[in-house]
């Protein structure tokens, strides 16, 4: 049986079989991912539990211009939206610096940043180098912008949306996120978690 990519709406599991090892090259436990999901509900859209090492990840997402921003400013920007969005998009290609969000698992003095964020504290974070391999604007339905992005490990898409909105001049936030690829593995090749369970039963003889 070939390598397969298993997922449900909430979780994704990569199962290796017919390989020299029955275990993935890198294992991330369900417990750690569910803990991460408490900090970012978007993770539950398609969250890997076990996966091979991959240099890039593909996401399909939506960002929304901030509704609490001055409407006259939003309307003014909307008049030149296509040109403005394209100009900003080009700034987010290649290697760039990104400041991680407060709601992240990055450690500060031995504790994850989200621990401080929940207390209303803001910690100064150093920018990190990330690589945006591809950034496509798929559809513009203001105030919503639909996009697809291929990026390196360690990229925070929520921060991409926030920084993008700041560059435009009206602010933006991430309103939808779905991981579609991890390296060579495509969610289109996925099985549901129930199919995954049936496959395990069929291969182990357990019911």
CB burial class (10 A; 0-12, 13-18, 19+) of residue 173?
A: middle
pLDDT at 139: 93
Q: Which candidate in 40, 70, 186, 189 is catalytic?
A: 40
175 and 78 share one domain: yes
Range of the domain at 45: 1-53+186-207
138 and 39 share one domain: no
In a domain, residue 105? The reply is no
- Spatial separation of the C-alpha atoms in residues 32 and 49, rounded to whole Å: 9
82 and 153 share one domain: yes
Strands 128-141 and 144-152: antiparallel
In a domain, residue 118? The reply is no
Q: 125-138 burial string, b = 16+ CB within 10 Å, else e?
A: eeeeebbbeebeee
pLDDT at 121: 95
Q: Supply angle C-alpha 176, 179, 185, rounded to 5.
A: 165
Give the count of domains, the chain.
2
Q: Which of 56, 30, 53 is nearest to 43 (CA)?
A: 30
In a domain, residue 43? The reply is yes
Are 39 and 46 within 8 A, CB to CB? no
pLDDT at 106: 92
CATH of the domain at 177: 3.30.70.3190
pTM of the model: 0.71
First to last CA, the chain: 20
pLDDT by residue for the chain (207 residues), tens only, comes to 343 433 333 333 443 332 323 333 333 444 444 444 455 555 544 445 444 556 899 999 999 987 655 556 666 666 678 888 999 999 999 999 999 999 999 999 999 999 999 999 999 999 999 999 999 999 998 889 999 999 999 999 999 999 999 998 888 999 999 999 988 888 888 777 788 788 888 888 665
189 counts as catalytic: no
Could you give the 3-state DSSP secondary structure of residue 186? strand
In a domain, residue 70? The reply is yes
- Spatial separation of the C-alpha atoms in residues 201 and 64, rounded to whole Å: 44
Cis peptide upstream of residue 70 (ω within 30 degrees of 0) = no
In a domain, residue 108? The reply is no
67 and 168 share one domain: yes
11 and 88 share one domain: no
93 and 46 share one domain: no
Helix, strand, coil: what percent of the chain each, to 5? 30, 35, 30
134 and 145 share one domain: yes
In a domain, residue 167? The reply is yes
- The count of other CB atoms within 10 Å of the CB of residue 110 is 6
16 and 71 share one domain: no
170 and 89 share one domain: yes
134 forms bridges with which residues in the sheet? 150
- The count of other CB atoms within 10 Å of the CB of residue 61 is 23
């Amino acid at each position: 049986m070939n390598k397969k990519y298993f997922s449900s709406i909430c979780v994704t599991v990569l199962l290796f079989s017919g390989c020299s090892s029955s275990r993935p090259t890198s294992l991330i436990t369900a417990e750690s991912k569910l803990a991460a999901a408490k900090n970012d509900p978007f993770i539950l859209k398609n969250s890997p539990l076990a996966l091979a090492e991959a240099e890039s990840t593909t996401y399909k997402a939506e960002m929304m211009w901030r509704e609490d921003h001055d409407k006259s400013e939003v309307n003014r920007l909307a008049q030149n939206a296509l040109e403005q969005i394209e100009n900003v998009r080009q700034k987010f290609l290649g290697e760039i610096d990104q400041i991680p969000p407060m709601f992240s698992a990055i450690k500060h003095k031995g504790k994850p940043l989200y621990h401080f964020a929940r207390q209303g504290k803001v910690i100064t974070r150093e920018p990190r180098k990330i690589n945006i391999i591809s950034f496509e604007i798929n559809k513009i339905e203001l105030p919503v912008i639909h996009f697809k992005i291929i990026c390196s490990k360690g990229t925070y898409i929520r921060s991409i949306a926030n920084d993008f909105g700041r560059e435009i001049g009206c602010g933006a936030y991430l309103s939808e996120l779905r991981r579609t690829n991890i390296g060579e593995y495509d969610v289109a090749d996925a099985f549901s978690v129930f199919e995954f369970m049936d496959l395990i039963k069929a291969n182990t003889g357990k019911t």
